[in-house]
Structure 1
Amino acid sequence: MSSLFTPSLHRQRHDFVVDFVRRNNPHKVVDLGCADCSLLQKLRFHRQIELLVGVDLNGAKLRKKMHGLAPLSTNYLQPTCNQLCVQLYQGSVTQKDARLRGFDLVTSIELIEHLSLDDLDRFSEVVFGYMAPQTVIISTPNSEFNRLFPEMSGFRHSDHKFEWTRVEFQSWSLNVCSEFGYAAEFTGVGQAPPGQEESIGFCTQIGVFHRLTVDRGGLTLGDDAGHNFPYMLLYSVTYPSLRDQNILRKTLVSEMLYWAEKMKKEWLEKLTEKHEEENPVEKNKRGGGEEYGEIFWTNGHELQCQTLHRHVSVPLHLLWNCCPKLRELSGSLGNLSQLVIDDPQIQMNRSRSAVIICSLEHANCGHAVFLDLEDEDSNDWMDSGYVESSHVEEENWETDF
């Protein structure tokens, strides 16, 4: 049947939920009857979601699909500020579990038609009365559309207990709204052929239920919840996040090293160009290589050392001014210094005001003679220039470069 629609009906239902999430930014989302977890797979990429839960009665299917919800390598390379936790539970939607109370969004996609009418009443009590989310999205087949499938007899699936017309679905929905304090709006996916939209409606009908009075402070586990935990937790994973101090530190260190190397390279290039402009005769005499101070330039580009005493000192305040991400993640220059001060990849001067970078492409540079930029009044590191710090004692710095 889905092959009659482009995109498939299955995808259109999921896209409807994804679009709702994109527009409304819920933080806690649970998918009831999550089956193969395909909807959860899509929702996990929406970074505003902090808790993403799937519930299904079929534990074997959950165990088969759950590892597909594990963090990707990009989640470790680019951790977000929000922390996402994904959980899968085996359980029935007719049971009350206190861990699912007070969510922002509950989805039930093609589920209710698999329930008996008695279980449907319990489902209504559990979802709208007990879980009491801010929003509920329910989709179910529209039986009026079935006449367009002449080869189909009975229901669309052998496990369906009923399939409602639009009037039947809306009648049930309005009763739920009246009993539990919600308002509903109706739509659907799977467009009817031209000219039959009004008479037949959508292939899948959807109800979006909004809670009329949202009192999150009142939705606590102590409110008539007791210790109801009938669901079995099968899978739980927390995605890497900048809320984790270790991950935050690694991210800051990576940014600092990148920008320190970038600033060092640009400054040395500028220094070389300036010297070549001032000494064109000496450059020609040396055939493309020359000594400048204690730095030896090969072909005017490749930096080498005349001795093993070459380091560049890049002040933290310049890194702070040049890298918006460092400012955003650390909050203050003091926080930045404290977060990275003990990291073995970061070598700092004695005052902890600058990062020490080896001026060679190789890691082992021996003792340090600093080319230091410590002008605290400078707002533009390119204009302030690096100077030798003869007052700094030589120390044995080890670097990873």
Structure 2
Amino acid sequence: MASLFSPPLHRQRHQFIIDFVKRDKPKKVVDLGCSKCCLIKNLRFHREIELLVGVDINLAKVTKKMHELAPLSTEYLQPRCSPLSIELYQGSVTEKDARLRGFDLLTSVELIEHLPLADVERFSEVVFGYMTPVSVIISTPNSEFNPLLPGLTGFRHSDHKFEWTRAEFQSWAMKVCEEFGYEVQFTGVGQAPPVQQERVGFCSQIAVFQRRGGRLGLNVQSSDDPNQVFSYKLLYSVTYPSLRDNNILRRVLVCEVLYWAEKLKRGWMEKKTDGGDETYTLSKTLSKRRFGFENMHERLEPDMDRTCEEETKTSAGRCEGAASEDEEGVYEEAFWTDSGGQETKQRRYVSCVPLALLCSSCPKVSSLSGSLTNLRHLLLDEPSVTLTQDGSAVRLMDKEQEQEEADNDDLEDSGYTEMSHCSLGAVQEEDWEADL
């Protein structure tokens, strides 16, 4: 049977929840009756969410797709700012479990109609009286719409215990609000033809509950309360990489620092060489190469924040003052090698990029580190980054000289005079509604 709705009805229900999440930005979300975790798979990409929980009584459905919730490779390349944990449980929505208390959002998509009417009251008590989420979204079939579904006789699914009219659904919801302190609004998805919409309503009716007072006055038991109940069985748990992990933060920060330091150095060198000004030619004026970065920010970023500008000048000034003609420090280093009994002096030239310039030129470096002091501290013991003696700048050696030095080291270590070089590669299923 061709779908009667476009997009299909189950996608419209999920999109309704996704739009709610985009607007309200809940941090903790639980989906009751998660089935094959379709909704959770979509919600995991919303980076405001820090905890996603799914609960279903059907073990086979949950375990069939749960490993697809593992982090994607892109999650490691671009970690989240805040952590995300996903947990899946097997359990009944009519039973209490302390781990699900106090969530920001609870969803129940086409679930309540699968409960015997005698259990609906228990469901209300568990969800609204015990779990006490700030917001609750519940959808259920609207039986008034059924005559418009061709070929349907009886309920939409063989496991449905009832299907409410709009008046019955609203009566139950208003009773919940009165008893447990919530407010509710009614809407739905799956519109009828315009001439019939007002008479039959939506195909799936939706109630959006909001706890009066939000989180104010919310009383949630502490985690060490001996009277807490844990009736659900944990089936799956995974934590996504995030910048809250100091090792991940350092790795991402180092990559950004090295990339931007090299980019700034190249930009400065291109401006000097393309400008035709011989006083800046690297081969003629070493000091300009060593300390040219002190004014580079004025050429590249004319509207830079003045505080960072002053700190950049101060950092470069300290380094320049510390290096005299006799003691050139970290900016120009000399080392000796023995070649055929004769000593040959070789000089290694180093460019220095102030950390303050990196903070002002790269917003991501600034946001990751938080401050110039934190940036210096995070880079201090990082083996892949070399700082100046006072820790105010990143030292970058010429790639050609760096490669030449590495080749010399290889020759000395191996004892061979000739070497060959190589490159390193581095939704709940419904019998009838499946076709909607």
Indicate whether the TM-score tops 0.5: yes
* Distance apart, 1:34 and its partner CA: 0.4
Say whether the 8 Å CA contact 2:348–2:397 is kept in structure 1.
no
* Distance apart, 1:145 and its partner CA: 0.6
1:349 aligns with 2:388: yes
**Aligned partner of residue 15 in structure 1, secondary structure:** helix
Distance 2:393 2:198 in 1: 70
Aligned to 1:300: none
**Pairing partner for 1:340 from 379, 386, 396:** 379
Percent identity over paired residues: 60
**Aligned partner of residue 195 in structure 1, secondary structure:** helix
| Aligned 1:67-146 pairs, distance under 5 A | 67-146=67-146
Say whether the 8 Å CA contact 1:50–1:85 is kept in structure 2.
yes
Say whether the 8 Å CA contact 1:358–1:365 is kept in structure 2.
no
Aligned to 2:258: 257
* Distance apart, 1:177 and its partner CA: 1.0
**Pairing partner for 1:310 from 349, 367, 370:** 349
**Pairing partner for 2:359 from 306, 316, 320:** 320
**Aligned partner of residue 227 in structure 1, secondary structure:** coil
Say whether the 8 Å CA contact 2:100–2:131 is kept in structure 1.
yes
The 1:205/1:362 distance shift into structure 2, 3 A limit, reads: farther
* Distance apart, 1:294 and its partner CA: 7.2
- 2:190 partner letter: G
> Per-residue CA shift, 1:255-287, capped at 9, x if unaligned?
11011000111111122224x4549xxx9xxxx
* Distance apart, 1:214 and its partner CA: 3.2
Say whether the 8 Å CA contact 2:348–2:401 is kept in structure 1.
no
The 1:185/1:321 distance shift into structure 2, 3 A limit, reads: same
Distance 1:321 1:226 in 2: 53
Distance 2:355 2:200 in 1: 67
Distance 2:73 2:16 in 1: 28
Distance 1:95 1:109 in 2: 18
**Aligned partner of residue 310 in structure 1, secondary structure:** strand
Say whether the 8 Å CA contact 1:191–1:202 is kept in structure 2.
yes
1:3 aligns with 2:3: yes
Aligned to 1:57: 57
- 2:348 partner letter: H
Distance 2:152 2:26 in 1: 38
TM-score by length of 1: 0.82
* Distance apart, 1:221 and its partner CA: 2.1
Greater relative contact order (Cα 8 A, min sep 6): structure 1 or 2?
A: 2
1:242 aligns with 2:281: no
Distance 1:294 1:48 in 2: 50
Higher relative helix content: 2
Distance 1:64 1:116 in 2: 26
The 1:361/1:41 distance shift into structure 2, 3 A limit, reads: farther
Instruction: Mark the runs of 5 or more structure 1 residues left unpaired by the alignment.
Output: 284-289, 296-305, 368-401
| Aligned 1:282-297 pairs, distance under 5 A | 292=284
Compare 315-324 and 136-145 and name the one that shifted more: 315-324
CA-atom RMSD in angstroms: 2.4
* Distance apart, 1:308 and its partner CA: 6.2
| Aligned 1:36-51 pairs, distance under 5 A | 36-51=36-51
Distance 1:273 1:307 in 2: 27
> Per-residue CA shift, 1:85-125, capped at 9, x if unaligned?
11111111011000000001000000000000121111111
Distance 2:369 2:100 in 1: 34
1:18 aligns with 2:57: no
| Aligned 1:111-190 pairs, distance under 5 A | 111-190=111-190
- 1:219 partner letter: N
Distance 2:400 2:206 in 1: 61
Say whether the 8 Å CA contact 2:182–2:212 is kept in structure 1.
yes
Distance 2:182 2:93 in 1: 19
Aligned to 1:389: none
Distance 1:355 1:365 in 2: 21
The 1:361/1:162 distance shift into structure 2, 3 A limit, reads: farther
**Aligned partner of residue 87 in structure 1, secondary structure:** strand
> Per-residue CA shift, 1:348-397, capped at 9, x if unaligned?
12211111112225743549xxxxxxxxxxxxxxxxxxxxxxxxxxxxxx
Distance 1:78 1:180 in 2: 42
> Per-residue CA shift, 1:302-360, capped at 9, x if unaligned?
xxxx9662321212122122112222221211111111211111111221111111222
Say whether the 8 Å CA contact 1:109–1:139 is kept in structure 2.
yes
Distance 1:244 1:349 in 2: 27
Instruction: Mark the runs of 5 or more structure 2 residues left unpaired by the alignment.
Output: 288-344, 407-436
Say whether the 8 Å CA contact 2:142–2:202 is kept in structure 1.
yes
> Per-residue CA shift, 1:38-73, capped at 9, x if unaligned?
101111111111111110111222112111111111
Distance 2:144 2:402 in 1: 73
Distance 1:225 1:11 in 2: 41
* Distance apart, 1:2 and its partner CA: 7.8
